[in-house]
Chain A
Amino acid sequence: MRSAQWLERSKVPGLVLAFLMTLACSGPASAQDLLVRGGTVITITNGDLPNTDVLIRDGKITEIGENLTAPDGVRIIDAQGRFVMPGILDDHSHMGVDRGINEGSRSVVPEVSIADVIRHDDPSFFTALAGGITTIHTMHGSANSIGGQNEVIKLKWGRPWEELVIEEAPITLKLALGENVRRSSSDNPTRYPRSRAGVAEVMRESFQKAQNYLDAWEEYEAKKAAWDRANRRTRGVAPLPPKRDLQLEALAGALNGTTILRVHGYRADEMAMMMEVANEFGIPGGVFEHALDGYKIAPELAANGWATSVFADSWGYKIEAYEAIPYKMLIHYENGVRTSINSDSAERVRRLYQEAARGVKYGGVPENECLKMITINAALNLGIEDLVGSIEVGKDGDIAIFSHYPLDTATRVEMTIIEGEVYFDRSEADVAANWVLDPDSGKETP
């Protein structure tokens, strides 16, 4: 079960980490110390700072400013003339999932978890790092009304799986609407539900069961507390707890606000349906995945507290995607709908900054707002905005160093850093094909 695993995971490394941090802060430089010197720092949340240094100690950003001094032994990265931005987040990915993206036998399977089927050595982690990606949300697919629990990881290429997981990230639950969950590509669908109306009722039924389950536990806790207080001789037999149900436990998280709903939706009507059902159960919003027609109901999304995670300009690949327009980022932005741009692809993830540039092209969304869509907005969509998504003191030392402004056509990722450690460095001669053509790369001809 997920929550138990979660507890185990978070306890042990957390304690070890705390111990190591205490040790390292007072002692010599650690492998997670770094001074990134002299670049233009794109903080995302606090403007662009020219000729600024970023000091990372024990994996956390400890100082941002001009002419910082590197403590003894701390590695210095020269970023002069370059652009230093927070490591990029892709909040809709399936990378690292070693089969098991969809548990398709039943439509409602909130109990299954990506954590059980992930591999730490997916080669696409490296090519994503080469595009400045540091964090991904790797997810179940869209074949199920309620498809299971996802995982938020950092692309610490080469490290064991346990080190990739962001312990503090809230649980996210994948839901899906529309053509995929209806299995509409099948000529002879045999699984309920087959219609959007049916999907709505499946959602209602599932959340109602989860609410009943929460109520039953609440009732039990109250009875148990009363029983605990009661006279030992007269209180009789202890009340029996409700039967534990892993499905309903997972769903209950969405009702009590500890789990973030991530809902695959294309058409406006299905998103409106989801918001109606969520409101019935007091669910305070969530994130629509793709939300291709979200621009049609942007005021409703904003009013109901739903965010989106979109493709910048993919469209027309099926009838559901036939109304998608590349101006959606503009309309979301103008309506105050928080939006991230995702890849959903082991290829596209390598150039998410280029996807973000499309926000400027299609309607002139301000540049920093476009960069938010691949950093802090994605972090907010995942509930990890206190850790990543901007360059601020106290946040993780996750950084992508670009050759030019990240939305500039000439730009390339030169280096990707996670928690103060370099995971991608373009100047390492064996990774790049065309460095001989690149006089600025600082490499030598072999």
Chain B
Amino acid sequence: MNPGKEGDATMNTWSIRRAAGAMTLALILALPGVAEAQHDDYAITGGTVVTVSGQTIQNGTVLVQDGFITAVGSNVTIPAGVERFDASGKFVYPGLIDSGTGLGLQEAGGMAGPVDNYELGPYNPHIEAYIGIDHASEMLGVQRVGGFTTVVTGLNGRGEPIPGYDSMIDLWGWTPQAMAVEKRIGLRVNWSEGRADDLKTYFLEAKAYAERAEMAEAGELVEFDWDVRMDGMIPAVTGEVPVIFEAREEDAIRSAVEFAEEMGLRYIIRGGRDAWKMTDFLVEHDVKLLFSGVHSSPGQDEPYDAHYATPALLQEAGVDFAIYSGGVANVFSLTYEVGMAVAFGLPMDKALRSVTLDAARILGVDDRLGSIDEGKVANLLITTGNPVDYTSQVETMFVRGEKVPWDDKFNRLLRRYRARAGG
């Protein structure tokens, strides 16, 4: 085989893949040959607009054009012909973000067939979660009851060391490609100290590969052995995409941070069960944390409210964090975990940011998502109140400027059976 020829082919694939990681929203909206969605333009008027990034606007207007927010304020000029959506007496919030789920990769649990959330082998850094998303999964539509427009999802079924790249997807769209916000939002590493040596070897190998690949691209190498898995590692070891270390216990979090620093990685810690015990460490190392488990039971040596209170303690200490569910069917219930954190001391504005702007920022998509600002993607909710509040109802949802049809499984069944009697 002609090594030069193989190298050429390799570089093509590699370049394309690398470019894919940096693709803009506009580029990934459509599959080749399919026209982009036709967006209706909307002016959402009269509601209390909670921008999250700045001041809340009473009787505000949000102008949505071509899927983006083009104006926000109390004095917005609405172009002729734009459909008005009256939100008087209601609230307008940005769509919520869950920064860790398994959505779209499994339908009902308990059976092998509909569960598609792991690959064989310990290292699969070339795998991208979005490609296996079932856009018609009943599990996606129902999440709107909680106000979730966007989630991070990934393969993690068996906890292998590197199960692949998590993807960020919007929960409305006709194909996985159209739903993808970022195909590679982060490389998931299921960290444990016991895996440190093996992972170090693997990451060092990947770093060396990335250097050779760069030289090959510059034409400085005659021979370059392309490897699908090593190629997958490149965005993670070059800092283009963060590495998401799954780590829950104190020792694991500490060693994952040390590993990431030693390797010079851009990284996020996800899990963080013991984070409340080590806030100084997290602040000192400027750790970005995705925390889950507000509702988990305390250990026998822990205060009864250790995990209810963790977000408040993290906030008080100045840790940079967001809150995620780790769920599939019940991602929508994440608002109740965030609400419980509020009851145990987390300020409400931070609570809301932990499922909007702070999640977007930690994941590197705050240029597009997480708040109601001009230029951002129009993922919006019209609600009866703060979506984090236990009893608030989400009444209308826009994803990329499209008004999402209210035909999710919960609402279909509600309509059908409520009509039988009583209701």
Contact = CB atoms under 8 A, between A and B. Distances in A.
Contacts of B107: 316, 322
A364 B393 contact: yes
Interface string A304-325: 0000000001111111011101
B365 interface: no
B332 to A, nearest CB: 8
B309 interface: yes
B328 interface: yes
B93 interface: no
B386 to A, nearest CB: 8
Interface residues of B, number: 54
Contact of B391 (A130, A325, A361, A412): A361
B343 A298 contact: no
A93 B182 CA distance: 42
Contact of A409 (B312, B328, B342): B342
B303 A354 contact: no
Contacts of B340: 351, 354
A298 B389 contact: no
Interface stretch (A101-109, A224-232, A241-249, A331-339): A331-339
Given A127-B304, A354-B336, A361-B393, A438 B108 contact: no
Contacts of A330: 414, 418, 423
Contacts of A354: 336, 339-340, 390
Interface stretch (A23-31, A58-66, A278-286, A429-437): A429-437
A325 B421 CA distance: 17
A318 B115 CA distance: 11
A316 B421 CA distance: 25
Contacts of B138: 316, 322
Contacts of B410: 325-327
A334 B414 CA distance: 12
B333 interface: yes
A196 B270 CA distance: 43
Interface in A414-434: 430-434
B4 interface: no
B304 A299 contact: no
B40 to A, nearest CB: 28
Contacts, number: 148
Given A127-B297, A354-B340, A409-B389, A316 B145 contact: no
Contacts of B110: 185, 317-319
- Identify which of A321, A348, A437 gathers the most chain B CB atoms within 10 Å of its CB: A437
A51 interface: no
A353 to B, nearest CB: 9
Interface string B369-409: 00000000000000000101111110000000000000001
Interface size classification for chain A: 35 or more
A190 to B, nearest CB: 20
A225 B266 CA distance: 88
Given A354-B340, A437-B316, A438-B345, A361 B108 contact: no
Interface in B297-347: 297-298, 300, 302-306, 308-310, 312-313, 316, 328-330, 332-333, 336, 339-340, 342-345
B420 interface: yes
Contact of A323 (B296, B330, B413, B422): B413
A358 interface: yes
Contact of A334 (B304, B388, B423): B423
Given A127-B304, A411-B343, A437-B316, A298 B409 contact: no
B309 A432 contact: yes
A161 interface: no
Given A185-B110, A313-B333, A317-B108, A299 B420 contact: yes
Given A295-B417, A335-B421, A347-B297, A316 B108 contact: yes
B145 A362 contact: yes
A215 interface: no
A360 B297 contact: no
Contacts of B121: none
B218 interface: no
Given A127-B297, A363-B414, A433 B305 contact: yes
Contacts of B108: 316-319, 321-322
B113 to A, nearest CB: 10
B295 interface: yes
Nearest to B109: A317
Interface string A48-61: 00000000000000
A209 interface: no
A319 B422 contact: no
Interface in A202-230: none
A331 B411 CA distance: 12
Interface of B: 107-111, 138-139, 145, 276, 295-298, 300, 302-306, 308-310, 312-313, 316, 328-330, 332-333, 336, 339-340, 342-345, 386, 388-393, 409-410, 413-414, 417-418, 420-423
19 contacts: A295-B417, A298-B422, A316-B330, A317-B109, A317-B110, A319-B110, A322-B108, A348-B295, A350-B297, A350-B304, A357-B391, A358-B336, A360-B391, A361-B390, A407-B391, A409-B342, A431-B303, A432-B304, A433-B313
Given A123-B300, A361-B145, A409-B343, 19 more contacts: A298-B420, A299-B420, A299-B421, A315-B330, A316-B109, A316-B330, A317-B109, A317-B329, A318-B109, A319-B108, A323-B413, A325-B409, A330-B418, A347-B297, A351-B295, A408-B390, A433-B303, A433-B309, A437-B313
